[in-house]
Structure 1
Amino acid sequence: MRRGRRGPAARTLATGVVLALAGALAACGGGEDDGEGGEGGGAESITVWIQEDLPDRVAATQEIIDQFSSESGVEVELVSVGEDQFNQLITSAAAAGDLPDVIGGISLPQVRTLSANELLDTESVGEVMESLDPSTFSERAIELTADGDTQLAVPSESWLQLLFYRKDLFEEAGLEAPTTYESILAAAEALHKEGMAGFVGANAPGDAFTEQTFEHVALGNGCELVDEEGEVLLDSPECVEAFEFYGTLVEDYSVPGAQDVDTTRASYFAGQAAMLIWSTFVLDEMAGLRNDAKPNCPECKDDPAFLAKNTGVTTTIQGPSSEEPAIFGEVTSWTIMTDASADSSKQVVEYMLNDGYVDWIAIAPEGKVPVRTGTPDNPTEFSDEWGTLPAGVDTKAPLSDFYPADILEILAQGPTDVSRWAIPQGQGDLLGATQGEHPVATAVNEVTTGTPAEEAAGKAAEAVRSIADTMP
């Protein structure tokens, strides 16, 4: 999830991060100090990439890593990598033989991309899981990060994609909560007027956030990327219907032009949108706890938490072609790369899921819901601790100060209910392979700017089929 914070899609690297990465790529290749590589045990120095590119988060992670190094004697070079740069950088590092030892905070599609390219040390990953005890993890998180009986990554935390809506405006207009295609369109039409968009959602091409947003909408209508036999389904009636719904929603009841993670949030925060699809990472910002992303609606001047108090949350969306609603979310993980310094790499991953775990999820508890709930001796230790952690950056406060208990329960239960394209069908590698070309985001952009849904869906399906044909 995200830009502006971490969760939904793309963001550029700061100049300092780029320079740090340039130096790190030259220094990668675990086990240089002992020369033992993937076969070796304890290298004295390893390289860890994380997909956290906000300075405060990088600094907080560095503190955890420094504590690990102090306790273990293993030196760690921490490298911050932006989500939008990940595929390019990992390709360059692999070609140069300069892969990092460990990567943290990576998404499910990225795990599949690494797996498809045989860049993972799944044996070491499996040993970490056994050491930590799989029974202490969410079963759903394990399913999503495994390929059959092979564990590809160690699941760490999750975030959810949600539909946020102005419950004060809904109540005034006598509208029901937006939980179905029908009720969402009805509300968008009723509330869309001068200075107020009925809905804002991503439609920028080439943007992972656009794909995440549409997948959330599409899953609720029974639209799948692919089936168990590998047949691409983006041009199925269910998917065409999903494209048509989202196209109408954005074209008729939203703001003009390309919308992304930053512009959609800005519109809602300015009080200029009645509904927004975004990730759980927005919750602390909506409460006015982060200075560089504060609500600025007219009412927010007197009460920075006005939007938090007057926002409702819809977790699942249901379309007319589905018998049940669905919820989209992401599970982010830690994994160990091929040719890594195995023992030291396993040590750091175990630390991040054990002694350093609470400090790691405390970096952004609104979007880092633990999928390891506790330890064998204390099965709810981490989930209990998560519920007490303060959110925010410039101002710290528990989310419970702003949001009712039912919303917090939704966050906590998210890892057990999350749905995703392709992975449940055993086609996770195809999901990973589509990430570089963004065919779904292209189709979403087209359908929200006038292209008929059937045409856009057909082009997206053909693009995915072409990608599938190039896979081994």
Structure 2
Amino acid sequence: MHSRLMALTASAVVVALSLAGCASDTGAKPQKDDSKLTIWTIEDKPDRLQAQEKMLDAFSASNDVDYELVPIAEDQLSSALTAAAAANELPDLVAALPLSNVHQFANDDLLDTEAAAEVVKKLDAGTFNKAALDLTRSGDTQLAVPSDAFPLMLFYRTDLFKAAGLDAPTDYPSVLEAAKKLNGNGVAGISAATSAAEQFTSQTIESFGLSNDCQLVNGKGDLALDSDNCKTAFGLYTDLMSKYSVAGEQDTATTRASYFAGQAAMVVWSSFLLDELAGLRNDALPTCDQCVADPRWLANNTGVVGGLQGPDASSPATYGEVVSFAIMRDAAPITKDLVSWLMSDSYIDWISVAPEGKIPVRTGAEPGSTEYVDGWADLETGVDTREKLSALYSPEVLDTVVGATNDIVRWGMTEGQGGLAGAMTTQRVLPTLFSDLIASGGSLDDALVSATDKAEQIKSGLGG
């Protein structure tokens, strides 16, 4: 079958669709037929596009359907999709759609939620990660089909912990004890993002909050950043960063560099660290003294904790991203078949695009089956050098990584306040406040009052 990779920038898509909209009528567009599918994807790197084309070629050949694959940068997606909707030219499917966009586009009535529910039912909800399904629902409505996830986790030096007689850092007391005991002699107790300029800092702060059941809003929809749960969580974060961490602001690159250089006993990072930690990316190699002779030394001496559990929480929790296949309004009926196929026959191919950041949220083809999780562990990861995950890490570490996706929670998503959470992140509200607090001291209570005031302003501006 004929296929084409539509190599347009998002701005070009917007212009083209705007022109198309000027020439079209304003009536609703009927459902498309099954002769051709238009698929937009946020997985827009060349190697990932090539992998997606290979999958789509296979589906196209066996289902007598043409397709067009359009790469769209994530930060351009909203404007491009708005223009497409105005021109009655929505794609059939958007692949790798983040949670914030799923909820935004559902609110804008751009998704075929009935189709998503049909796919999940066909595949059996019991084969999915519950957290992934919960985060992609609004009430009882399934908004999209979750495909994969990446969690923030706590990586720690098992050799240092063993020598110091420390338990794994799974809760607040054990993290604090380890940070205190291991801080010194050129090693920081912990490294985590504090930069006011980075979204990574927002994710890190949210992760600490979630671990103690600190929520952006409570069950009534009222702001809750000044709750006792939040004060405990953010108190730990500020203590760790101001007393037992690396001096100065820390960001994505410096947190990784500190841990890789052997200058931090713990680091908060996402699962995307897995390939770099094993020395598979030349521009981000471990540089610790032991790593010179053995590039895998650090990976062999690193343990992983998924979600932490704070004293006020009933279970572990962490920040993470769940991405989805989003079936768009008026999509061709065969789009449901494509998504079902991508989540079953081609699921291992899909997560192989970047296995360190595409942790499966569907464990197997039947409830109780682990075929997809097992298949993920045997996938190759890496940039300049490639190795199977199972050759790099123990079954215990890989089980922890997969299990961490069950700990993923997000502020505002299940309370209908995803827009508020997104705006708080975009405006760097908490990173700005906490960066100042960590650098210069001050009152945590005052910082949370300021955060609540700012959140209230944002919420009012959103009509909440």
Q: Does 1:346 align with 2:345?
A: no
How far apart in 2 are the matches of 1:109 and 1:97?
23
Cα shift at 1:320: 3.9
Partner of 2:3: none
Partner of 2:9: 20
Partner of 2:264: 273
Partner of 2:202: 211
How far apart in 1 are the matches of 2:348 and 2:14?
29
Partner of 2:182: 191
- TM norm structure 1: 0.84
Q: Match of 2:433, SS?
A: helix
Per-residue CA shift, 1:267-307, capped at 9, x if unaligned? 21122222100111211221122333321222112111111
Partner of 1:404: 394
Q: Match of 2:269, SS?
A: strand
Cα shift at 1:89: 5.3
> Is 2:7–2:70's contact at 8 Å kept on the other side of the alignment?
no
Per-residue CA shift, 1:8-67, capped at 9, x if unaligned? xxxxxxxxx9963333344569x99x9998632326554433333444333322332333
How far apart in 2 are the matches of 1:349 and 1:40?
17
Q: State the percentage of identical aligned residues.
A: 42
Partner of 1:359: 349
Partner of 1:11: none
Matches within 5 A, 1:148-297: 148-193=139-184, 195-297=186-288
Q: More deviation in 183-192 or 305-314?
A: 183-192
Partner of 1:314: 305
How far apart in 2 are the matches of 1:412 and 1:38?
41
Per-residue CA shift, 1:106-136, capped at 9, x if unaligned? 2222322222333322233233333434343
Distance 1:201 1:97, change over 3 A: farther
How far apart in 2 are the matches of 1:130 and 1:259?
44
Partner of 1:453: 444
> Is 1:205–1:442's contact at 8 Å kept on the other side of the alignment?
yes
> Is 2:308–2:316's contact at 8 Å kept on the other side of the alignment?
yes
Q: More deviation in 250-259 or 292-301?
A: 250-259
Look up the equivalent residue of 1:302 and give its one-letter code. A
Gap regions ≥5 residues in structure 1: 1-16
Q: Match of 2:427, SS?
A: coil
Distance 1:177 1:411, change over 3 A: closer
Q: How many residues align?
A: 452
Partner of 2:426: 436
Q: Match of 2:196, SS?
A: coil
- TM norm structure 2: 0.86
Distance 1:393 1:404, change over 3 A: same
Cα shift at 1:360: 0.8
Distance 1:241 1:416, change over 3 A: closer
Look up the equivalent residue of 1:471 and give its one-letter code. G
How far apart in 2 are the matches of 1:266 and 1:23?
37
What is the aligned-residue RMSD (CA, Å)? 3.2
Distance 1:306 1:453, change over 3 A: same
How far apart in 2 are the matches of 1:87 and 1:297?
42
How far apart in 2 are the matches of 1:96 and 1:200?
48
Distance 1:70 1:27, change over 3 A: farther
Partner of 1:144: 135
> Is 1:24–1:79's contact at 8 Å kept on the other side of the alignment?
no
How far apart in 2 are the matches of 1:88 and 1:267?
38
Partner of 1:393: 383
Partner of 1:75: 67
Cα shift at 1:213: 1.3
Q: More deviation in 294-303 or 385-394?
A: 385-394
> Is 1:47–1:79's contact at 8 Å kept on the other side of the alignment?
no
Gap regions ≥5 residues in structure 2: 1-5
Cα shift at 1:395: 2.5
Partner of 2:113: 122
Per-residue CA shift, 1:401-448, capped at 9, x if unaligned? 232221122223334343333334454454345443342333333332
